[in-house]
């Protein structure tokens, strides 16, 4: 989207938080830069080219003037990455070594050439977690959010062993229910039984990274789940995912008035 290129100078966190478009762009950048260079992804932000590009995996790389670095973390947690502008004492680029190579990469994957430009890096870093002293801090390790398909490119059933990563509202679904991850990012609790008879609920890829046709399950075959092989982020991947992961609202009634209380509680959906 062209308007995403127009990032105002002298940004502040308060200004970004008050601007829905800038905040969405910042979250997209925070998610994408949380993975190591050369990581393979399915999901694409809305400001990438879609069409045929959305039917393939893509690999995230840095332009030659950007480097990857770790956010603070302890040895028991999986490391989360970020990006910064290159300094003179940094090692030379490992993957994308010059601007000509960067342009070919962007053309190959339908990525805007200004992806991870200096303005985007500055915007992204304004949203990084910090401690009370203002230094970079480790992001939350829970809850985590599963990578959806590109918009309009299918859904999948989330592996039950991955449910513990989700917000607490999803912790008490019964054995006959499953969580469907839609391409919009929505997380839906649904009955598992109908998926024994539907066309495949998962997205299938061939060895070239393209989609292949779904097939019909035999009634006795169990649905296939995904989750462990998906990328997980400490932020919701889309606004729709954020909405479906919000805590329940509990309505308490007093005499003569209603009081609405919002809390992160478990329970049946």
Q: Residue 208: how many CA atoms within 13 Å on its side-chain side? A: 5
CA dihedral angle for residue 71, residue 239, residue 194, residue 197, rounded to 10 degrees: -80
Residues of the chain with pLDDT > 90: what percent?
Answer: 70
Last residue of a domain, one of 93, 126, 159: 126
Average pLDDT, the chain: 86
Distance CA 177, CA 191 (A): 4
- State whether 107 and 173 are in the same domain: no
- CA nearest neighbour of 92 among 101, 104, 103, 105: 101
Q: Mind listing the pLDDT tens digit for each residue in 35-52?
A: 999 999 999 999 999 999
* 110 & 152 share domain: no
pLDDT tens digits for 107-160? Answer: 999 999 999 999 999 999 999 999 999 999 999 999 999 999 999 998 999 999
61 and 122 co-located in one domain: yes
Query: Looking at 92, 126, 160, which one is the last position of a domain?
Result: 126
Asked if residue 268 belongs to a domain, the reply is: no
Is the domain of 94 the same as that of 153? no
Residues facing 23 on adjacent strands: none
- The verdict on residue 63 lying in a domain is yes
DSSP H or E stretch at residue 84? strand 81-85
Instruction: Domain count for the chain, please give it.
Output: 2
Q: How many CB atoms lie within 10 A of CB 197?
A: 12
DSSP class of 46:
T
Which run of H or of E encompasses 121? helix 118-126
What pLDDT does 221 receive?
64
Q: Are residues 70 and 169 in the same domain?
A: no
**242 lies in which domain range?**
145-262
Q: pTM of the full predicted structure?
A: 0.85
Q: How far apart are CA 32 and CA 26, in angstroms?
A: 10
Same domain, 104 and 149: no
Please tell me the distance from the alpha carbon of residue 210 to that of residue 173, in angstroms, as a whole number. 33
The candidate with the shortest Cα–Cα distance to 30, out of 127, 157, 151, is 127
């Amino acid at each position: 989207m062209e308007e995403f290129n127009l990032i105002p100078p002298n940004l502040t966190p308060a200004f970004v938080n008050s601007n829905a478009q800038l905040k969405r762009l910042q979250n997209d950048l925070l998610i994408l830069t949380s993975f190591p260079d050369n990581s393979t992804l399915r999901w694409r932000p809305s400001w990438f080219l879609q069409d045929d590009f959305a039917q393939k995996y893509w690999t995230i790389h840095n332009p030659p003037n950007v480097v990857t670095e770790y956010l603070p973390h302890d040895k028991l947690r999986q490391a989360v990455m970020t990006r910064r502008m290159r300094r003179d004492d940094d090692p030379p680029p490992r993957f994308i070594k010059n601007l000509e190579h960067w342009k070919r990469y962007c053309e190959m994957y339908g990525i805007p050439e200004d992806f991870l430009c200096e303005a985007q890096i500055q915007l992204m870093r304004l949203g990084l977690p910090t401690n009370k002293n203002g230094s970079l801090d480790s992001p939350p390790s829970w809850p985590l959010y599963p990578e959806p398909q590109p918009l309009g490119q299918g859904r999948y059933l989330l592996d039950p062993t991955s449910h513990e990563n989700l917000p607490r509202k999803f912790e008490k679904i019964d054995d006959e229910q499953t969580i469907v991850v839609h391409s919009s990012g929505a997380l839906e609790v649904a009955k598992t039984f109908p998926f024994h008879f539907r066309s495949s609920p998962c997205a299938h890829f061939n060895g070239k990274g393209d989609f292949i046709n779904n097939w019909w399950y035999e009634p006795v075959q169990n649905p296939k789940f995904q989750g462990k092989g998906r990328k997980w982020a400490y932020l919701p991947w889309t606004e729709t995912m954020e909405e479906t992961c919000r805590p329940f609202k509990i309505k308490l009634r007093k005499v003569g008035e209603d009081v609405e209380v919002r809390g992160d509680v478990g329970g049946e959906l």
